[in-house]
Amino acid sequence: MFRNLFRPDSPLMITMNQITDCIFLSLFWILGCFPVVTIGASFAALYDSVVHTYRQGDKHGWQRFLRTFRENWKAGIVPTLLFLAVFSALVKGLIAVWNAAVYGKLSWMVFSGAAFAGVLVLGILSVLFPMLSRFDNPLGALLKNTVFLAMANLPRTLMLGILNAAAVLLCARYVFPLFFLPALAALLSTLLLEPMFRPYMPAENAAE
């Protein structure tokens, strides 16, 4: 009985391997973000490795991460700088509106509208680097297609924004979620993003 419990194909061992992959991929993502300009490549590598590890059953997700990171780090530098500029402006703007609402300088209705716009912008940003990992586009086409695809799938984009806003807030407040939440959030994002990507992917890739 116990021998079967620890077989590589037993439910227990499969679950343990998935948890281990989640932790290692999250740690690889953190390390990939340290140089700052490679944040985009790290996001792209995390998304791609999560898709192949959890949705397609590939083994050695960390090897997939490293390969995708190497392939995208140069192409991801400019999108990363744009991402950081927009994300920083978004955070500063929301903090300013929140403080103004707290001190009565603005109504909470205005803050609600700003929060909705912030979620939308974050949702659009959440499409950018998965697009980089799944499609081979020059910078202009990457940015244009990201905005087009995000706006064409607005409910999914808003859900992406909410998901990643929650992940950012948890990781900013607590240290422990950093060890698993990046990969988990990427996995949940695949449920929203892969149906958006599928109509534009080659038939053999879409069928994977």
Residue-wise pLDDT tens digits, 38-55:
999 999 999 999 999 998
Q: Of 163, 161, 172, give the one whose Cα is nearest residue 118.
A: 161
Six token digits for residue 178: 């950093």
Q: What is the pLDDT of residues 102-127, one digit of tens each?
A: 888 888 899 999 999 999 999 999 99
Q: 204: pLDDT confidence band, cut at 50, 70 and 90? A: very low
Distance CA 177, CA 85 (A): 25
Number of domains in the chain: 1
Domain extent at residue 27? 2-206
